[in-house]
Amino acid sequence: MHLRLCQMKFCSFFFCCGRPSDWSEKGSGSSRWVFSLRELLSATNNFNYDNKLGEGESGSVYWGQLWDGSQIAVKRLRMLSEKAEQDFAAEVETMGRVRHNNLLSLRGYCSEGPEHLLVYDYMPNFSLYSYLHGPHSADRLLHWGRRMSVAIGSAEGIAYLHHHATPRIIHKKIKASNVLLDSEFRARVADFGLADLAPESAAQVATTVKGTQGYLAPELAISAKATESCDVYSFGVLLLELVSGKRSIEKSSTNQRLAIADWAFPLAREKRFDEIADPKLDGSYVKEELKRLVLVGLFCAQSQPQRRPTMLEVAELLKGGAKENLLFIQNDEMFRIQTTASSL
């Protein structure tokens, strides 16, 4: 009960670990972990409300415990569309092949009757959201070194999805609540590969948009087709959130909604980077690193998709490599203070 109370308000995704009781081989020689429905019902106390950790766009998540004592979380997918029902096995096989230190990889599944269940690793430090805006924000455990590690790790995880996964995966839902933190506060990007399994209804679309406000690339208002560049935009917003401690959209002093990039941009242009830093850092950060994260974040979150970098380039920039590219970004026209005729 204590675990549920701690996680309910900010656990929009899932946390688990454990070993499935079966190793099964199905279809074209591929191997997958397979749980029985009976086993997962027992582990979650029949999906008891008291075991519920949270609810995401594609389903609810329940805490449970297997016979060997290992803790798991079971993502119970909502009723699937006919196409998603047909694609479930293929989607699970694709997600099961994704393995990277900075991705929350699929550990198991169950598909019996109307039930479609997914099992993932347990992340003891919850999500980035919980330390920036949730119950743990006052703990101040997210010091600068950990923030840099989260920035680089999550960038590398998304870069893997874009450039090395087969087939390549567009995340579509990059946000603070989908970056989980392991026992060492290392980033594990979650909730990828599930978009095609979501219910196809107007209500579900509305829920998805509401849940990602502030992270959506502007071109998605014109075309609903997500691209790698849309993920880059979302990641830029996430970087600014990580540096400043602000939400992706804040209310201004005049009660107007202000996107984080619109707030940070004039400060960066005037080189007032210290004013962007999260006050909870108490000035304890590496100034050059903070400047780097702000510049890269704003360059990712610019409105023109063709000018955004790739996630491979972003990861390299954040690690301090590609110094010429960072200098190019710093000197880009978007960061130059515009002079007017009256000021000449």
User: Taking the CB of residue 201, how many other CB atoms lie within 10 A of it?
Assistant: 12
- Residue in 47, 51, 61 with CA at minimum distance from that of residue 15: 61
- Residue in 211, 266, 229 with CA at minimum distance from that of residue 58: 211
As a dihedral over the C-alpha atoms of residue 79, residue 127, residue 110, residue 76, rounded to 10 degrees, the angle is -30
Q: What is the DSSP letter of 68?
A: T
Q: Does residue 75 have a known ligand-binding role?
A: yes
How far, in Å, CA of 260 to CA of 213, rounded? 11
Which residues make beta-bridge pairs with 103?
A: 189
Instruction: Assess contact for 57 and 207: CB atoms under 8 A.
Output: yes
How far, in Å, CA of 230 to CA of 183, rounded? 30
How far, in Å, CA of 260 to CA of 337, rounded? 19
As a dihedral over the C-alpha atoms of residue 214, residue 200, residue 34, residue 18, rounded to 10 degrees, the angle is 30
How far, in Å, CA of 100 to CA of 112, rounded? 29
The first and second tokens of residue 97, run together, are 């092949």
Instruction: Assess contact for 13 and 21: CB atoms under 8 A.
Output: no
Which residues make beta-bridge pairs with 64?
A: 72
Instruction: Assess contact for 187 and 200: CB atoms under 8 A.
Output: no
Judged on CB neighbours under 10 Å (0-12, 13-18, 19+), 263 is middle
Q: What is the DSSP letter of 222?
A: T
Judged on CB neighbours under 10 Å (0-12, 13-18, 19+), 236 is buried
Binding site: what residues are annotated? 75
Residues annotated in a binding site for ATP = 75
